[in-house]
Structure 1
Amino acid sequence: MESGRIALVTGGNRGLGRATAQALARHGRHVIVTHRGDADGAERTVESVEEAGGKAVALRLDISDVASFPAFASDLTAQLERWGATRLDVLVNNAGIGLFGPLEAVTVDDFDAVMDTNVRGTFFFIQALAPLLADGGRIINVSSSLSRHTSAGTSVYSASKAAIEVLGRTLAVELGGRGIRVNAVAPGPTATDFNGGAMRDDAQMRESLGAQTALGRVGEPQEIGDAIAALASENLRWVTGQRLEVSGGALL
């Protein structure tokens, strides 16, 4: 247990974000979850953490709205103070979007939406919160196994996740002097509500994608959350600038 430490999970109102918040809480952390507008979903995450004996709170955040970050940092500071803290210990950048389609179908608006959220927003959010991150803290960026293997129609999304990994390696060097570790977790096919819940609800898709993994199935959100919590723990304190793929051995 690493009690007394505080983690923030963006996009914590559902799926991987919720599972990550729950996993971090099981490690004894207080958890702040953000949502873009799904207040009910975020509150369900908070309730699930509290039911397990942890502390959690939800704050609204649109990761694509860079101009809102100073105000969010002020709200975050106020919440930290309510918990008797001055610094954030773990930042999990999970919020993101995926718009998929072949080359000829991708519009400028589609491209900009994905990059503005997954890359631009994430980078400037880290910049905004770096002063609030404790020395010795952790930043974990959620990438995708698609940054390693390919799938038709995923070019823009995959490129955005590859960019996050490269940014993370560079920031690991820049922030290393403060003892801050920066890593990426790259989930493979996982049964969440991402992309309309197709992988969770479509049995044929689950079977097809599961057959492409060494372990013969798609992942579950809790398995990704557990991996993120492990990477945030003291057990992996000598790991930074790395990419941990959690995919069951997809397309090896």
Structure 2
Amino acid sequence: MGRLEGKVAVILGVGALRNMGQAIAQRYVREGAKVVLGVRDEAGVKPFADSLGAAVVHCDITSEADLKRLMNTAVERFGRLDIAVNASGATHFAPFLEEQIEDLRRITDIQFIGTFQFIQAALRVMADGGSVIQISSVTAIALLPNHATYMATKAAGDLVVSAVAAEFGARGIRVNSIAPGPTADTPMAAPLMANPTAREQRRSATPLQRLGTADDIAEAALWLATDENFITGQVLQVNGGRAIHRLQ
């Protein structure tokens, strides 16, 4: 029997081929979970969803109505919601004095307000003993040049996770973040990883001497989703030790 047999999971952020959200969805299905995918491009994700036997719901993390429909679909179709994973995000960088208010608002809407709304929507329907998982970033504590907005919103999301974990622990609901570092195989990291020099710099600066992968994050998300752990309100640094140096 799989480690998630009988559990129902919602995953947001699976729109790009081979991204972390897709790796998590694949891992969950292999372990027996029923999965509902929240996506902005239903047609584009349909082949992936069909390969897993997963349900698909249109969902934009900035829309409260979309998030409510996503969570309710899981309950209506499968009778419950046990796991909610937010793997959505928006890459963005700019020198501090060149940052534009439009970009501040866009990234904040996705990575702070969106995170807040996602967790709210999940908790309104989640079964006691469930697990909420937020994909954060090592940059919430490890400085990366020209990423002030990205880093600040990821850090804010981690603080929301801590606050919610304290409030909902009495229901047995675990709320945690996973903080990846540079990854070798995800679409968001692809432009950086295409540069051999940049790729090698990041590998050599990682104490475990290799770059992370989407599967590394999926394994951590599997463990946090099971009932086999006793952890809540934490940021799990799944980045080969990059967080130790606090500098990218």
Cα RMSD of the aligned pairs, angstroms, is 1.7
Partner of 2:113: 120
Mapping 1:1-252, distance limit 5 Å: 1=2, 2-14=4-16, 15-37=19-41, 39-40=43-44, 42-49=45-52, 55-70=53-68, 72-73=69-70, 76-83=71-78, 85=79, 87-191=80-184, 192-194=186-188, 197-236=190-229, 238-250=230-242, 252=244
Q: 1:152 to 1:33 in 2, by over 3 A?
A: same
Q: Secondary structure at the match of 1:9?
A: strand
**Percent of counterpart pairs with the same letter?**
34
TM-score (norm 1): 0.89
Tell me if the contact between 1:183 and 1:240 (Cα under 8 Å) persists in the aligned partners.
Answer: yes
Gaps of 5+ in 1: 50-54
TM-score (norm 2): 0.90
Partner of 1:52: none
Letter in 2 for 1:184: S
Letter in 2 for 1:82: R
Letter in 1 for 2:187: D
Measure the CA separation in 2 of the matches of 1:250 and 1:182: 23
Letter in 1 for 2:72: T
Q: Secondary structure at the match of 2:124?
A: helix
- After superposing on structure 2, the runs of 4+ consecutive aligned residues of structure 1 that deviate more than 6 Å are none
Q: Secondary structure at the match of 2:90?
A: coil
Tell me if the contact between 1:101 and 1:153 (Cα under 8 Å) persists in the aligned partners.
Answer: yes
Q: Secondary structure at the match of 2:241?
A: coil
Q: Secondary structure at the match of 1:133?
A: coil
Tell me if the contact between 1:190 and 1:199 (Cα under 8 Å) persists in the aligned partners.
Answer: no
Letter in 2 for 1:45: F
Tell me if the contact between 2:81 and 2:125 (Cα under 8 Å) persists in the aligned partners.
Answer: yes
Measure the CA separation in 1 of the matches of 2:27 and 2:211: 19
Tell me if the contact between 1:13 and 1:44 (Cα under 8 Å) persists in the aligned partners.
Answer: no
